[in-house]
């Protein structure tokens, strides 16, 4: 009896998945023009809901492939000059980037830049290939516009991702854009610091910036590396590895932190990084949260993992504000967490972010969310009399 039940459940799930894929295939085939031309309404009301018939991980894989084969709306018009900005020595045509975790293996960089992102972050990449946690490991909290994931650094590993980065950069006519690589560590690594040092050596020559990710909640012990002594040791070795690279332009190094740090943790991290001003080039704030706000509605709120999207928004902005204040605005910040509109991006910029990133909003709104955020951000800057993004960075602190 139980065998029959299991089999029935299994084939029903398979049927639903195939039905979903067929529907999306059909949608793409019949609406090819809209898919490429990218109406906001079409994506939000038609394409993304059909993608949501698939389980979250299958939809994620599908979306990466769509970007890889450029089945995405391209941005043809240039960004307005007010959105261009220079941060840690790199020029960005706009300040809205794709956060780590979408293109973990660097498969779709060119397609993602073509959507209109000002920069794309590949990874997290681990030295050795590893499968990550067993599925299911990504959950949509639809009622909350949020995601919980516990992927656990599924990665094809340094060698495979490096090969793609090299090929991408050498391909004649390849689209130019700022590409960062986010470094992680293997779950069973005997030398966690060694994993990051290896990442710097491997990707230093093919990255516009590198990220030391010590804040993913799904690798046991990883977040402990944000503690003062361990962080000092880690950053000193990572900086030494970067400075030893035989390159004309050595990549900036950023540290990605969690939104769940205590006040004391934040003070420690700020002190460690400020002491290395000029060597550590910035922060990414923040990764997903292990907290579960009481406002969450979805049944998936009980899943283990990191929460992202709308419920993370204020927590991430507050963390940006705290770190900007603690570092006296001297360390550039990339603000990320719950950005889905120009106002969300602007709030992070005013709190102290020089650039912003998003991920969860792409799952719910699809690629047109990028042009929407940029358009709205441009309008907000203009309305407040700013002629550039840089002028608005940290203004919340100046007002008080
Ligand atoms: C499915 C998923 C996978 C992620 N994987 C990574 C990762 O590998 N490395 C990392 O630094 N952050 C990862 N993140 C965190 C995002 O980069 C980002 O910090 C976080 O989701 C907050 O932004 P958002 O609210 O716009 O999604 C992941 C997020 C999601 C939703």
* pLDDT for residue 17: 52
Beta-carbon count within 10 A of 312 CB: 26
- Give the bridge partners for 140, in sequence order: 147
HEC readout, the chain: CHHHHHHHHHHHHHHHHHHHHHHHHHHHHHCHHHHHHCCHHHHHHHHHHHHCCCCHHHHHHHHHHHHHCCCCCCCCCCCCHHHCEEECCEEECCCEEECCCCCCCCCCHHHHHHHCCCEEEEEEECCCCECCCCCCCEEEEHHHCEEEECCCCCECCHHHHHHHHHHHHHCCCCCCCEEEEEECCCCCCCCHHHHHHHHHHHHHHHCCEEEEECCCCCCCCHHHHHCHHHHHHHHHHHHHHHHCCCCCCCCCEEEEECCCCCHHHHHHHHHHHHHCECCECEEEECCCECCCCCCCCCHHHHCCCEEEEHHHHHHHHHHHHHHHHHCCCCCCEEEECCCCCHHHHHHHHHHCCCEEEECHHHHHHCCHHHHHHHHHHHHHHHHCCCCCHHHHCCHHHHHC
Cis status of the peptide bond prior to 124, with omega within 30 of 0: yes
* pLDDT for residue 39: 66
Please give the chain's pLDDT, 400 residues, in tens: 333 343 444 454 554 454 455 445 544 544 454 554 556 777 777 777 778 889 999 999 999 999 999 888 888 889 999 999 999 999 999 999 999 999 999 999 999 999 999 999 999 999 999 999 999 999 999 999 999 999 999 999 999 999 999 999 988 888 889 999 999 999 999 999 999 999 999 999 999 999 999 888 988 888 888 778 899 999 999 999 999 999 888 999 999 999 999 999 999 999 999 999 889 999 999 999 999 999 999 999 999 999 999 999 999 999 999 999 999 999 999 999 999 999 999 999 999 999 999 999 999 988 999 999 999 999 999 999 999 999 999 999 986 5
Which protein residue's CA is at the shortest distance from atom 29 of ligand 1?
Answer: 101
By most ligand atoms within 8 Å of CB, the mutation choice from 157, 254, 287, 289 for ligand 1 is 287
Gap between the Cα atoms of 289 and 216, Å rounded: 9
| Ligand 1 atom closest to Cα of residue 60 | 1
| Ligand 1 atom closest to Cα of residue 56 | 1
| Ligand 1 atom closest to Cα of residue 309 | 25
By most ligand atoms within 8 Å of CB, the mutation choice from 61, 63, 99, 347 for ligand 1 is 99
- List, chain by chain if needed, residues with CB within 6 Å of any ligand 1 atom: 99-101, 104, 123-124, 138, 147, 149, 151, 182, 213, 216, 256, 287-288, 308-309, 312, 336-339, 358-361
- Rg of the chain taking only CA atoms, in angstroms: 20
The second-level CATH assignment, the architecture, of 82-399 is Alpha-Beta Barrel (3.20)
| Ligand 1 atom closest to Cα of residue 215 | 11
Tell me how far the alpha carbon of residue 287 lies from the centroid of ligand 1, in angstroms: 6
Tell me how far the alpha carbon of residue 173 lies from the centroid of ligand 1, in angstroms: 30
* pLDDT for residue 172: 84
By most ligand atoms within 8 Å of CB, the mutation choice from 288, 341, 348, 364 for ligand 1 is 288
Tell me how far the alpha carbon of residue 7 lies from the centroid of ligand 1, in angstroms: 34
Q: Give the residue from 350, 347, 342 showing the smallest Cα distance to 376.
A: 342
* pLDDT for residue 399: 61
Which protein residue's CA is at the shortest distance from atom 3 of ligand 1?
Answer: 101
Map out the domains of the chain as residue ranges.
Answer: 1-74, 82-399
* pLDDT for residue 318: 98
Which protein residue's CA is at the shortest distance from atom 2 of ligand 1?
Answer: 101
* pLDDT for residue 25: 52
The residue behind tokens 């946690």 is 133
Tell me how far the alpha carbon of residue 340 lies from the centroid of ligand 1, in angstroms: 14
Catalytic residue numbers read 216
Buried b (16+ CB within 10 A) or exposed e, 148-166: bbbbbbbbbbbeebbebbe
Tell me how far the alpha carbon of residue 148 lies from the centroid of ligand 1, in angstroms: 10
Long-range contacts of 131-139 (CB under 8 A, 24+ apart): 132/218, 133/218, 135/57, 136/55, 136/56, 136/57, 137/57, 137/305, 138/55, 138/56, 138/57, 138/60, 139/56, 139/300, 139/303, 139/305
| Ligand 1 atom closest to Cα of residue 339 | 26
Beta-carbon count within 10 A of 304 CB: 12
* Distant-in-sequence, close-in-space partners of 107: CB < 8 Å, separation ≥ 6: 64, 65, 68, 164
* pLDDT for residue 76: 84
By most ligand atoms within 8 Å of CB, the mutation choice from 183, 308, 348, 363 for ligand 1 is 308
| Ligand 1 atom closest to Cα of residue 211 | 11
Q: Give the residue from 343, 352, 341 showing the smallest Cα distance to 400.
A: 352
* pLDDT for residue 165: 96
HEC readout, 375-396: HHHHHHHHHCCCCCHHHHCCHH
Which protein residue's CA is at the shortest distance from atom 7 of ligand 1?
Answer: 101
Tell me how far the alpha carbon of residue 100 lies from the centroid of ligand 1, in angstroms: 6
How long is the chain? 400
């Amino acid at each position: 009896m139980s065998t029959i039940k299991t089999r029935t459940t299994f084939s029903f799930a398979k049927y639903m998945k195939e039905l979903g894929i067929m529907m999306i295939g059909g949608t793409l085939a019949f609406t090819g023009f809209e898919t490429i031309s990218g109406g906001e309404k079409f994506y939000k009301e038609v394409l993304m809901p059909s993608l949501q018939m698939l389980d979250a991980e299958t939809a994620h894989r599908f979306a990466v492939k769509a970007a890889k084969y450029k089945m995405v709306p391209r941005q043809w018009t240039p960004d307005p000059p007010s959105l261009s900005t220079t941060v840690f020595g790199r020029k960005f045509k706009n300040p809205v980037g794709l956060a780590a975790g979408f293109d973990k293996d660097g498969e779709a960089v060119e397609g993602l830049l073509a959507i209109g992102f000002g920069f794309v972050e590949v990874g997290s990449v681990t030295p050795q290939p590893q499968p990550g946690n067993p599925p299911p490991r990504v959950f949509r909290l639809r009622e909350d516009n949020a995601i919980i994931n516990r992927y656990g650094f599924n990665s094809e590993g340094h060698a495979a991702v490096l090969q793609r980065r090299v090929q991408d950069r050498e391909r004649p006519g390849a689209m130019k854009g700022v590409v960062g690589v986010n470094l992680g560590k293997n779950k069973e690594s005997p030398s966690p610091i060694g994993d990051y040092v290896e990442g710097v050596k491997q990707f230093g020559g093919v990255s516009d910036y590198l990220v030391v990710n010590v804040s993913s909640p799904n690798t046991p012990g990883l977040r402990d590396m944000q503690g003062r002594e361990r962080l000092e040791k880690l950053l000193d070795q990572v900086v030494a590895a970067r400075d030893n690279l035989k390159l004309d332009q050595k990549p900036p190094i950023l540290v990605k932190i969690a939104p769940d740090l205590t006040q004391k943790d934040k003070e420690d991290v700020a002190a460690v990084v400020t002491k290395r001003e000029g060597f550590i080039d910035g922060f990414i704030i923040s990764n997903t949260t292990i907290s579960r706000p009481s406002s969450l509605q979805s049944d998936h709120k009980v899943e283990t993992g990191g929460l992202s999207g709308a419920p993370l928004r204020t927590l991430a902005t507050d963390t940006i504000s705290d770190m900007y204040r603690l570092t006296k605005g001297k360390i550039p910040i990339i603000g990320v967490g719950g950005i889905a509109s120009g106002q969300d991006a602007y709030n992070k910029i005013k709190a102290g972010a020089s650039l912003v990133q998003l991920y969860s909003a792409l799952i719910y709104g699809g690629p047109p969310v990028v042009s929407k955020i940029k358009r709205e951000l441009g309008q907000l800057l203009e309305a407040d009399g700013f002629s550039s993004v840089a002028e608005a960075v940290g203004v919340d602190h100046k007002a008080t």
